[in-house]
Amino acid sequence: MFRRALLAILAGIAVFLVPWTVYLGLTLPERFDTSQWRFAWVGFDIVLLLCFASTVLLGMRRSRASVPMLAATATLLFCDAWFDVVLDWGGPDQWVSLGTALLAEVPIAVFLLLRARALLAGNARPRPLTMRDIAVHTNPDYQRLLRLLPATSAELSAQVPEIDVPAALSTLAQAGYTRRTRDGRWHPVPQSTNEAKPEDFPEADRATLAAYLDAKYDREVRLLAWAAERRETFDGWTAGSRAGMRLSFKDLKEFEAEYLELVHRYAARKPAAAGEARDLSVRFYAFPEPKPAELA
């Protein structure tokens, strides 16, 4: 009810602004003198400065609030560019204002909007599962290395001398599971794969896929059983909820996408985690509600 009322109000405002804008275009004078010109622009730049500073602080804290702050800062930059160019047009500073807008304000604003979109969408977009993914997931050496990241190749070689670390890291990088930063450290790259369907794979690979999926879900069942048996031993390091919802297929996919965005956003904090931080197993499952007889 509230959502519909809000949308109705916003639609009404949009409709009202059409004749109002036409009215202003016909009645406003070409020139207008004001005694608060300096105060208006200095105040605007102070607000812009505060937006940049707030964005930096929120970004350092990896807060979700950095997304709307990035959008707000970008909007103010677009406004700054618009008024600088329009109000200086025809004057001695018109080309300086135009150059500043095109080379600085607008590009920075676009970049901020793209970063806000990336943060909102998460770092890993769902993609189809491939045989190379299965090879990575079923190779114990690759999994050991991924759990030890971030680290340098030398640090990994010292911890697992029995593994050919440079070759393994190269393979993982080609598969998109790792990346090397300028400081020489290797970092894991978040991955999100869609549920695999046998008909999407060649006939020759379907047996491998079936074995992989069977082993995957068998491990999941054993993992949940293990956690349930030891739920009193985790000293509060547990979280979970159960819910039943009536959703359409589209609603379910939207819910899953928002969940993945949240997971990827929090996973990005891992390199900076310290103190009491621990590795946690996080799972999300949704499936059709079983009939009582099916659980008997």
Percent of the chain whose pLDDT exceeds 70: 94
Residues contacting 188, CB < 8 A, separation 6+: 146, 149, 150, 177, 178
What secondary structure letter does DSSP report for 193?
B
Q: Tell me: pLDDT of 171 over 90.
A: yes
Amino acid 7: pLDDT: 83
Amino acid 262: pLDDT: 79
Amino acid 115: pLDDT: 87
For every residue of 66-94, DSSP letters joined together read: HHHHHHHHHHHHHHHHHHHHHHHTTSTTH
CA neighbor of 118 nearest in space, from 256, 268, 283: 268
CA neighbor of 82 nearest in space, from 101, 96, 99, 103: 101
Rounded to the nearest 10°, the torsion over CA 70, 71, 77, 81 is 150
151-152 and 185-188 as β-strands: parallel, antiparallel, unpaired? antiparallel
CA neighbor of 80 nearest in space, from 100, 66, 96: 100
Strands lying side by side in the sheet with 151-152: 151-152, 185-188, 178-180
